[in-house]
Amino acid sequence: MSQEKKHDLDDLLESGEQTEGSFSITMKPVRRKQLRFDYWTGLFVLAGIMFEAITGPLLLYYYQAGNPYGSTVSIVQTVPLGGIILAAHLYMAYAVILLLFVHMFRNYFVGAYRGAWRWAQWMIGLLLFLVVYSIAVIGYILPEYYIGVDAVHITMTLIERSVIGRVFPALAAFLVSALVGNATTLQAWQHFLAMHAILLTGLAFVLIVVHFFLFEKSGIHEEEKTVQNEKPVPVMPVSMLNSIFLASAFIAVVLIVSALFPQGLLQGYGVPAYGLLPFPDWYLMPVYKMMDVAGLGLSTGGVPFLGILVIIAFLVPFLDRYKGSLPLDRPLFTAMGIFVILFLASMTLWGYAQPGLSQTRPLTLMMFGGMVFVSTVSVYAMKYARRDLHE
């Protein structure tokens, strides 16, 4: 047994010097206990994005911006394996968005945004979240399904009638023309394709590199005392193999889901789809339902409400001044996190139950007041219950 034998990388990390032919960036070794899969939520997101980056160009081979719906039909029906690649691309996008939420809330509740460089990692992560969300939304516009085209119309309305359009009409006009060009199918979908496949994806790639670099700088977020004395395992090969194992198992699960529940073609935009009630994809449902809420509608309240939510999320590392890092040591921020989860869940369910039905202002106030009450009271109750238990 070689207790004394150290791994090559350990020398490199301890001395902090570069040996000849090595890069100055080395991957941080992790502790044995940190090989748990819930420490690697970001890895799953990264694996999903890499999967999308492989299947996307394959779809690009047969996709035509001038004939979006027709080329989607031909990909599904005539291109060998086209249907399953499209289905896997779609399901992996759903998985990525779901895991983005898991990743974000997990790191929010454990307070991983606090630390020398972690605040930057948190803010870049939020930026990435918005970029990936935009990529996903543009992705569902690309096949020219009726829900996608409705989303375009809603986005244009949103730009023109919200605060942007009212205060800076020229900026709104520029944004609309950047989105759809001269509004012909060819030009609009060429723009969507450029944004989905190159512009936003390239931006996401740059942000991912910075996000990952900051992760390597800070290492895995952990309560220091629990792992201080433990011997690290080296990145090569153990942590790397662990990552490959987790990523490939995750990809296999998504492949099985897309084989068992293949996505059929939806109704294309046009006369046959006239009168269909547009249901957005599940991840857009909370935003969609916000527009129905009276007094908090699209143009007046909904956009500012979501905007304030995002701004607060960006500033969380600077607002959080609690000493402890456990969720109940930071009761206000834990309550805020639970409020956002309740908000997303209830708006999604409400959106599916009553799409497009305007809500009265008292009902809205009662609902939001109820969510604030439940989240705050439950967290503070748990905090004081824990204190009483320890006394």
255 vs 341, beta carbon nearer other proteins:
255
Residues binding other proteins: what is the number (CB under 8 A)? 28
Q: Least distance in Å: CB of 345 to other proteins? A: 30
Span 85-104, contacts to other proteins by CB under 8 A = 88
Q: CA-to-CA distance for 87 and 72, rounded, in angstroms? A: 12
Q: Least distance in Å: CB of 2 to other proteins? A: 9
194 vs 233, beta carbon nearer other proteins:
233
Q: Least distance in Å: CB of 87 to other proteins? A: 8
Q: CA-to-CA distance for 213 and 217, rounded, in angstroms? A: 6
Q: CA-to-CA distance for 93 and 85, rounded, in angstroms? A: 12
Verify binding: residue 77, other proteins, rule CB under 8 A.
yes
Verify binding: residue 27, other proteins, rule CB under 8 A.
no
DSSP string, 141-162: HTT-BHHHHHHHHHHHHHHHHS
87 vs 347, beta carbon nearer other proteins:
87
Q: Least distance in Å: CB of 33 to other proteins? A: 12
Site string for other proteins, 248-277 (x = CB under 8 A): xx-xxx-xx-xxx-x---------------
Query: Which of helix, strand or coil describes residue 294?
Result: coil
115 vs 234, beta carbon nearer other proteins:
234
Q: Least distance in Å: CB of 238 to other proteins? A: 5
Q: Least distance in Å: CB of 272 to other proteins? A: 22
Nearest to 92 by CA among 128, 52, 60: 52
Rg, Å, the chain Cα set: 24
117 vs 261, beta carbon nearer other proteins:
261
Verify binding: residue 81, other proteins, rule CB under 8 A.
yes
Q: Which stretch binds other proteins (CB under 8 A): 59-67, 78-86, 120-128, 161-169?
A: 78-86
Verify binding: residue 310, other proteins, rule CB under 8 A.
no
CA distances to 171, 312, 332, 356, 390 from 327, in Å: 42, 18, 9, 37, 17
Verify binding: residue 54, other proteins, rule CB under 8 A.
no
Among 60, 183, 198, 244, binds other proteins (CB under 8 A): 244
Q: Which parts of the chain are beta strand (E)?
A: 30-31, 232-233
Contact yes or no for 296/305 (Cβ under 8 A): yes
Query: Which of helix, strand or coil describes residue 323?
Result: coil
Among 55, 162, 242, 348, binds other proteins (CB under 8 A): 242
Length of the chain: 391
Burial class, 299, CB count within 10 angstroms (exposed 0-12 / middle 13-18 / buried 19+): middle
Span 352-391, contacts to other proteins by CB under 8 A = none
Site string for other proteins, 212-241 (x = CB under 8 A): ---------------------xx--xx--x
Q: Least distance in Å: CB of 266 to other proteins? A: 16
Q: Which residues contact 237 (CB under 8 A, 6 or more apart)?
A: none
Q: Least distance in Å: CB of 35 to other proteins? A: 8
Among 20, 25, 36, 80, binds other proteins (CB under 8 A): 80
Nearest to 349 by CA among 282, 301, 299: 282
Contact yes or no for 287/343 (Cβ under 8 A): no
CA distances to 124, 128, 314 from 104, in Å: 12, 11, 12
Contact yes or no for 73/302 (Cβ under 8 A): no
Q: Site residues (CB under 8 A) for other proteins?
A: 1, 32, 35, 77, 80-81, 83-84, 88, 233-234, 237-238, 241-242, 244-245, 248-249, 251-253, 255-256, 258-260, 262
